[in-house]
Amino acid sequence: MTEPTTSLSPLTRRTVGIRGLSAVIALAVLGASLGTTTAALAQQKPAPKAAAAKAAKADKKKATPKDPKKEAGLHFKKGADLFAKKQWKESKAEYEAAEELFPGATPKYFIARCSEELGEHAEAAAWYDKAIELNKLKPEQQKDAQDRVAALKARPAKLIITSTPPGALVIIDGKAIPEKTPTDVELTPGAHKVALSADKMKPFEQSVDVAPFKGAELNASLEAQPPPPPPTPVAATQPTPTPAPAATPPVQQDARQRRDNTWVYVTGAAAIVGLGVGTYFGVRALNDHKDYTANNYAGATQELHDRGTRDALVSDMGFGLGVTLAITSAVLYFTQPPADAPKKTGALRVTPVAAPGPNGGGFAGATASFTF
């Protein structure tokens, strides 16, 4: 059996060859594109196992929360180390981080301490107040915070004083300062009285409350002093006679005025002295007489006799004078005129009298005379 033979023309064979070459070129371009894309994807994406491990690590990190108290403790410890080195700014930052994570009285206290060392007095006082309010500090820290905040709030603050017009004299709490307005002065917090004065201006006075840390400002507008009124012309008229003042009635004296008892006291005192002298020398005279007559005059001597006689005489004189003066004092007291009666001049004369008596004794007395 004979196979059929197919014969193609040259043109047909050329056409088929061109189409085959085009197909080969298209396949080559497509393969090159696929290779480039595959390489790019291989560079962008990691291996499946590495990507999964990284994703698991990130998820685990997100799932494990941090302990705020523990983190605050680490910041607090760093702050304490820096505080000991007097690195106040860095220490304050660490204490603030600890306070933000886990608030408490102790971080507030040390924030205040650092602020005070940095010269931030208002902020330090605010942190001290917060720490004290919690009442959870140690006793020594609580007292220290109270003392420190009291000292901070008592620090002088600035009072700024201005006036219109300027150049006024400034008097604070009654004491003038050398500077004139505008000026500023450091004052303790609290109320202060400020006065301003200037020529041809009305006096100005105002109470100013100086706040701790902030101070205060006083802006005074001084008013002009009005001009004095013109003098009133004097009219040429006869002067008006001034009426004589009314007679003042005499002052009535108190009818119960005290009487003058000077001589009553003098004579009474002298009477007491006289009676005392009489008693003393009377006792001595009795003792002398007893010694003189003892043992049937065994010890009798002329000296003892004379002394006994003298003591007896002085005793009689003392008793006589004392009795007389006592009677005189009583008479003066009961016969003295009232205080409003006209005064009279008078004199008292007392004369002692003494005379010897029988048996060695004696007599003593006194005579008194009054002159009115």
CATH code of residue 200? 2.60.40.1120
Q: Is the pLDDT of residue 187 over 60?
A: yes
Residue 34 lies in a domain: no
Assess whether 149 and 168 both reside in one domain. no
| Paired strand residues for 367 | 351
- Are the C-beta atoms of 111 and 98 separated by less than 8 Å? no
Determine which helix (DSSP H) or strand (DSSP E) holds 193, and give its type and residue range. Answer: strand 190-197
- Which of 132, 153, 174 is where one domain is finished? 153
Assess whether 287 and 349 both reside in one domain. yes
Assess whether 299 and 321 both reside in one domain. yes
Residue 174 lies in a domain: yes
Residue 231 lies in a domain: no
Residue 167 lies in a domain: yes
Assess whether 144 and 178 both reside in one domain. no
- Which of 153, 178, 195 is where one domain is finished? 153
Q: pLDDT-based confidence at 3, cuts 50/70/90?
A: very low
- Are the C-beta atoms of 109 and 128 separated by less than 8 Å? yes
Closest by CA to 214, choosing from 173, 273, 139, 153, is: 153
Mean pLDDT score, 313-329: 82
Q: Is the pLDDT of residue 152 over 90?
A: yes
Residue 89 lies in a domain: yes
Q: Is the pLDDT of residue 201 over 70?
A: yes
| pLDDT of res. 5 | 43
| pLDDT of res. 71 | 95
Assess whether 304 and 323 both reside in one domain. yes
Identify the domain containing residue 367 by its residue range: 262-371
What are the C-alpha distances in Å from 12 to residues 5, 6, 16?
A: 16, 12, 6
Assess whether 132 and 108 both reside in one domain. yes
| Average pLDDT over the chain, rounded to an integer | 77
| pLDDT of res. 7 | 46
Assess whether 135 and 178 both reside in one domain. no
Answer with the residue of higher pLDDT: 362 or 116: 116
Residue 214 lies in a domain: yes
Residue 204 lies in a domain: yes
Assess whether 367 and 326 both reside in one domain. yes
Domain count within the chain: 3
What are the C-alpha distances in Å from 247 to residues 97, 134, 236, 371?
A: 94, 81, 32, 42
Answer with the residue of higher pLDDT: 368 or 178: 178
Q: Is the pLDDT of residue 316 over 70?
A: yes
Mean pLDDT score, 300-313: 80
Assess whether 92 and 166 both reside in one domain. no
| pLDDT of res. 274 | 80
Mean pLDDT score, 321-349: 69
Assess whether 295 and 335 both reside in one domain. yes
> For residue 46, is the peptide bond before it cis, meaning its omega torsion is within 30 degrees of 0?
no
Assess whether 191 and 214 both reside in one domain. yes
